[in-house]
Chains A and B, each alone.
Chain A
Amino acid sequence: MKSNGNQIRTLKKVLRYIKKYGLYVAESLLLALVIVALTLYVPVLTGRAIDLALGKGQVDFQEIGRILLRILLLSGLTALAQWCMNLSNNKITYGVIRDIREQAFRRIQILPLKYIDSHAHGEIVSRVIADVDQFADGLLMGFTQLFTGVLTIFGTLVFMLTIHVKITLVVVLITPVSFFVAGFIARRTYHMFQQQSKVRGEQTALIDEMIGNQKVVQAYGHEREALEAFDRINDRLEKCSLQATFFSSITNPSTRFVNSLVYTGVALAGALTALKGGITVGQLSCFLSYANQYTKPFNEISGVITELQNALACAARIFELIEEAPQVPDAPDAKVLTDTDGRVELSHVWFSYVPEQKLIQDFNLQVKPGQRVAIVGPTGCGKSTVINLLMRFYDVDSGQILVNGTDIREITRESLRDAYGMVLQETWLRSGTIRENITMGDIRVTQEEIVAAAKATKAHSFIRRLPNGYDTVIGEDGGSLSQGQKQLLCITRVMLRRPPMLILDEATSSIDTRTEIQVQNAFARLMEGRTSFIVAHRLSTIQGADVILVMRDGNIVEQGSHSQLLELGGFYAKLYDSQFAG
């Protein structure tokens, strides 16, 4: 019941998207009506023509000619209607999925970082791409087949009834047998399919594990054992797969058999009636073709319904994304941050990603303009948490962060983020030209400014050597550039904007020593006179900092200058010993 309710809710949402294409939907439905009526009428005409050719010497050529002309005309008309219907179905389907996709993408842009960080990117992408695609298939099929299918069934019934009631009854009575058979087989095979997907899942897990870590498997000479384990599952899969495949494939022959019974029933009843002069041979032939047509949509519809259910399940997953709560929007009276002097204050800040796991507790920090704050700690201790809070990728649970004395929640996100220049260790470049990557789409920037920034970071020399200089197109994620070059580009990007404050994530060990020194120098030039927060790995950076925040397991455990912290003899001192001392 619950899933039914969900399906209906999803269906309603889908209908909301379809509404925009109401005109096309109306056209499509109208055309479907015309098509069904015409396709059903043609066999009547064919039957009539056959009746006019009774036997040797008994043929009414004139009348037949007229009928044939009509068949030609009508089938031409039908074809045209079919084409138009197909086109408008396409318009609806592709239009709807375009809109849905765009909605999903818009939503991604305003989703809280929390959502994006906690969901596998592959999964989100698969919702926007694969699920939408699957949904389109189902929708298109639904439009083209479901409606015409239902119409055909009713139309056929009406046409058959107008010809002969009793023979129609024969058809109507035998057809349900086919459902019964199909349903019976489906129920029986359901658990076989479940079994199959369970074993298949086991096998995929094993494949994932062994092939995914093939190097370890080989390093330990574990190939034979892995293959044996694989074969055990493979054999089981073969067995249950055979069962499921075979038993499910009985459905088709069985329903076909029932259809042939319908056909025979019509033949028998029809022929006997014809003997008594109840119907003509032409009508019988027309009936036979109806008997074929009547059973087909039933089979098709059951297929379409499975497909539609599948489509709705996909749609539900997409809507889940689209309806995911967006980040808190900027307050309507949010200020635009201007002329930042670089004063940052964290006052009684509490924050955690999940309520059960306390992270930052009652944290206080005052940063004066131009000060350098180094964040240090072992790998994976949550140094990026501070960045997340400063940039307002996440909001504090309680307490406040002030820039220029204003709570950052009262400032527009745009102007807050504008005030920071950010360089992350994981460089992110997009496919596009070097120039686009430096300007980040800002068209007001002049070539001179770009070059000046690139010279300041020493990126200019390698950019100049690229095939098309600043217009060289780089692929997704920087393509052929080296890690160090990517980093230099990201620094140039920030250099160009000359923000009053900086957030930098030092590379741990990305590059060859020479580029590393260049990057260091670029960082240093960037930091001159700016308030900077640096996730630091180098001792020189740490020692030069005005304040050092020491993090451990997500918490800020110590805070102070280098000498103060060493004096303290706590975690920092230990860390310092192990990392940097002999």
Chain B
Amino acid sequence: MKNLLGYLKNYKKETILAPLFKLLEASFELLVPLVMASVIDRGIGGNQTDYIVKMCLVLVLLGVVGLACSITAQYFAAKAAVGFAARLRHALFEHIQSLSFSGIDTIGTSTLITRMTNDVNQVQSGMNLALRLLLRSPFVVFGSVAMAFTVNPKAALIFAVTVPLLMVLVFGIMLVNIPMYKKVQAKLDGVLSLTRENLTGVRVIRAFHREEEEIRDFSGRNQELTGIQLFAGRVSALMNPLTYVVVNGAVVLLLRRGARQVYEGGLTQGELVALVNYMTQILVELIKMASLIISITKAIASGNRIQGILEIPSGPDRDGDKSREDLACTEGIGAGQTDAGTPKIIFDHVGLTYHEGGEEALSDLTFSIEKGQTVGIIGGTGSGKTSLVHLIPRFYDVTRGRVLVDGVDVRACAPEELRRKVGIVMQKAVLFQGSIRENLLWGDPDADRAVLEQALEASQSMEFVREKEGGMDFQVSQGGKNLSGGQRQRLSIARALTRRPEILILDDSASALDFATESRLRRAIRELGDETTVLIVSQRISSIQHADQIIVLDDGQAVGIGTHEQLLADCQVYREIFETQVSGREAGGVRGDKEVSE
């Protein structure tokens, strides 16, 4: 939380003035009982009507000045808090943009979104409250005590005892309660997860007709929750009654001692009234302070969560975070220049571990891909296909070995530059709010109409885009919800093609397409020419079997590299996949090589 305060930097003036004006207002408020005391003693006691009227005018004046101060304070506080939150949101958004993929994976996008919205709002209102009230309440409490001393030091001793006692009570109850509410929260989470489980598993639960058992289970947890809520409530229910007793006790003491002093002539009646007033004021402020502290604690918790995000190190440095000398890129192979002979992509004993100490997602991969080649990558889910291709644009950095693009270790390249060479189509087709054209321009902001049309054509999107209202100006709604899954997939392929990438990566990105469209798409990609190196990730043999080179992954290891025919001969895993998918061909008759003959 502390580090976040840096975002207040531009609001120094406001941050100081807001509490200051609040304190001014409080001081005027503290004067009121004194004025009242003199009304009683000098006005009523001395029978002076003028004086009473004059003092009442003073009271009004105090009110007006107080109001002015207070509004000024509110303005500065609002300005500082709102500005602080805006800066914080900006910083957070910028930081999240720079996170590495592993960073995003570990935190999860839904958490990131909550941090940016709920938590920042929480911090903003906490900051606003703190600027206004954090100093004010203690000031009024201690101010009241101080004023009481100026009225009558002897009687004021009672204050010196009461205030600490009240504080112990108020904060003690709060301290006891906070961990209890944590327990309540934990129980609530239990109820929540059970409810969610029942929704996701509704088919299984009904298939096994476990409804009654689930209800029984829920009732049990619900009852536990209620029990602990009641228990926590019992403690916090003590707050008001106890403080009430203490304050009234103090008033009684005050009156007793005050009466004696009045008798002895050391205290006037009006002053006694003032003392009683101060006492009640203190109670009000302390209770305000307690609830203030609760809100601020919440805000601090949110702040710490935000801080946690900001502390996650950014992803790879924009300029390449390892100096070139550190890496072997200056050695033999190519050293940056792209000779005709240099392979486009080289994997050199590559290993990848996502979590420190975890198992390797990829291990000891070594292969090279020539420029213009088409490479298929096949294997079951979790075999590491996506991890492999994500290493090329440096979404993740290898934990062992190295990846070279155009002869240069990718860790020596600025990710931005590297990614400009790569067009990647991810498994989940994501489009953004805006026109189709705007979406395509993500690939290359400078692309002209011809390029866009070419991309649409090749991705088999032209036909449906033409049918849309406005063609390329058709507005895609958020998440592309007004397009079908297949259309989204084709447009995200078009987006990658707009970039005219040196390396095109298709990560299982034709799954929603029907067979004919997919084969036309495959043909169009084959026609991209020798300038484009293509990597196709798939679970289907048919999608990749014509590739120049096929890499078979199983459990993060390359169990076979070669052409379709070679792999059928040598690679058992490939053959198994082939058999489960294709083996029926002979049995099914002569149908078959239709795709090839096309």
Contacts and interface: CB of A to CB of B under 8 A. Distances in A.
A575 B516 CA distance: 9
Interface in A251-281: 252-254, 256-257, 260-261, 263-264, 267-268, 271-272, 274-275, 281
B181 interface: no
A102 B195 CA distance: 11
A68 B252 contact: yes
Interface string A54-97: 11111101001100100110011011101100110011001101
Nearest to B36: A267
Contact of B582 (A413, A440, A581): A581
A54 B269 contact: yes
Nearest to B74: A249
Nearest to B588: A566
Nearest to A271: B52
A366 interface: no
A418 interface: yes
B566 interface: no
B223 interface: yes
Contacts of A49: 255, 259
B58 to A, nearest CB: 9
A234 interface: yes
A53 B59 contact: no
B39 interface: yes
Given A72-B248, A108-B198, A267-B36, A86 B542 contact: no
B208 interface: yes
Given A102-B222, A245-B128, A220 B197 contact: no
B515 A577 contact: yes
A98 B380 contact: no
B532 to A, nearest CB: 17
Nearest to B597: A582
Nearest to A87: B237
B262 A86 contact: no
A288 interface: yes
Contact of A253 (B70, B416, B592): B70
A428 interface: yes
A75 B249 contact: yes
B113 A90 contact: no
A562 B204 contact: no
Contact of A98 (B63, B89, B222, B256): B222
A417 interface: yes
A181 to B, nearest CB: 11
Interface size class of A (residues with CB under 8 A): 35 or more
B598 to A, nearest CB: 11
B451 interface: no
Interface in A434-448: 440-441
A353 interface: no
Interface size class of B (residues with CB under 8 A): 35 or more
Nearest to A442: B208
Interface string A97-131: 11001100110111001001000010011001100
Contacts of B276: 46, 50, 285
B98 interface: yes
Contact of A260 (B62, B249, B554, B595): B62
B240 to A, nearest CB: 6
A237 B101 CA distance: 29
A216 interface: yes
B584 A509 contact: no
Contact of A414 (B209, B233, B516): B209
Contacts of A573: 591
B96 interface: yes
Contact of B242 (A79, A223, A253, A493): A79
A220 B395 CA distance: 12
Contacts of A124: 195, 199
- By CB atoms of chain B within 10 A, which of A55, A124, A578 has the most? A578
A113 B202 contact: yes
Interface in B197-215: 197-211, 213-215
A249 B380 CA distance: 59
Contact of A267 (B56, B71, B218, B499): B56
Nearest to A56: B265
A94 B226 contact: yes
Contact of B200 (A65, A393, A417, A428): A428
Contact of A582 (B112, B206, B395, B592): B592
A576 interface: yes
A61 B259 contact: yes
B59 A72 contact: no
B60 interface: yes
A75 B244 contact: yes
Contact of B209 (A97, A260, A413, A508): A413
Nearest to A279: B44
Contacts of B272: 50, 53
B233 A90 contact: yes
Contact of A83 (B98, B238, B495): B238
Contact of B211 (A79, A109, A493): A109
Contacts of B256: 64-65, 68
Contact of A220 (B196, B206, B419, B478): B419
Contacts of A431: 193, 197
Contact of B195 (A75, A86, A129, A264): A129
A212 interface: yes
A183 B422 CA distance: 60
Given A285-B273, A288-B277, A581-B591, A133 B237 contact: no
B591 A98 contact: no
B86 A237 contact: yes
B340 interface: no
B545 interface: yes
B97 A214 contact: yes
Interface string A507-532: 01111110011000000000000000
B196 A78 contact: no
Given A76-B245, A79-B241, A109-B198, A511 B382 contact: yes
A542 B585 CA distance: 12
Interface in B409-437: 415-416, 419-420, 422, 424, 426, 430, 432-433
Contact of A513 (B52, B82, B201, B554): B554
A221 interface: yes
23 contacts: A49-B255, A53-B263, A57-B263, A61-B259, A75-B245, A78-B241, A79-B241, A87-B233, A105-B222, A108-B198, A124-B199, A125-B196, A226-B97, A241-B124, A242-B82, A250-B74, A413-B209, A417-B209, A441-B213, A510-B381, A542-B584, A575-B515, A581-B595
Given A79-B245, A110-B211, A284-B44, 5 more contacts: A116-B202, A203-B117, A209-B479, A274-B44, A577-B594
